[in-house]
Copies of this chain bind each other. A is one copy, B any other.
Amino acid sequence: MTGARRKEQKRLEPNTQGVSLTLRVRYFETDQMQVAHHAHYFVWFEAARSEFCRVRGIDYAAMERAGYFLPIVEARCRYRTPARYDDEITIRAHVTERTRRTLKMGYIVLRGDAQIAEGETIQMLVDRDGKPRSFPPEIAARFDAS
């Protein structure tokens, strides 16, 4: 079992290129400190994750219709420099580890060449009832591709 799991698990070489999404900080996303509110970075990570899936040919909406869900079980972010209204920022999302049932992704937030934040999420594949499931091989392969 452990062996089976090991084979499934894939510690990826850090590939911070991953898939990039560029967006502008919305006025709605600022707070009275006149910077983007920290909670929105997790929304941007998610938007980059959606883009990652699209680029890799993973139809996440279809996955949910088929009964596979990827809820976040852990999330963190480190904020270095504030992002401001209308800033054009780029979020790079990449897979850092995939096990049979979990997906760890890393994110880098860039403004121009400056790295202004970085973060990580861990997701667990579950079915409609919240029970853990194993990644179908064809989905796993798309997450693991480099």
Contact = CB atoms under 8 A, between A and B. Distances in A.
Contacts of A71: 33, 35, 38, 79, 82
A60 B86 contact: yes
Interface of A is mostly: mixed
Interface residues of A, number: 39
Given A39-B39, A50-B27, A61-B86, A79 B73 contact: yes
Give how many copies assemble into the complex. Answer: 4
A34 B37 contact: no
A34 B35 contact: no
A12 interface: no
Interface of A: 24, 26-28, 30-35, 37-40, 42-43, 46-47, 50, 54, 60-61, 64, 69, 71-80, 82, 84-86, 130
Query: 8 closest pairs, A vs B, by CB?
Result: A76-B76, A30-B32, A39-B42, A38-B72, A32-B34, A28-B43, A39-B39, A74-B78
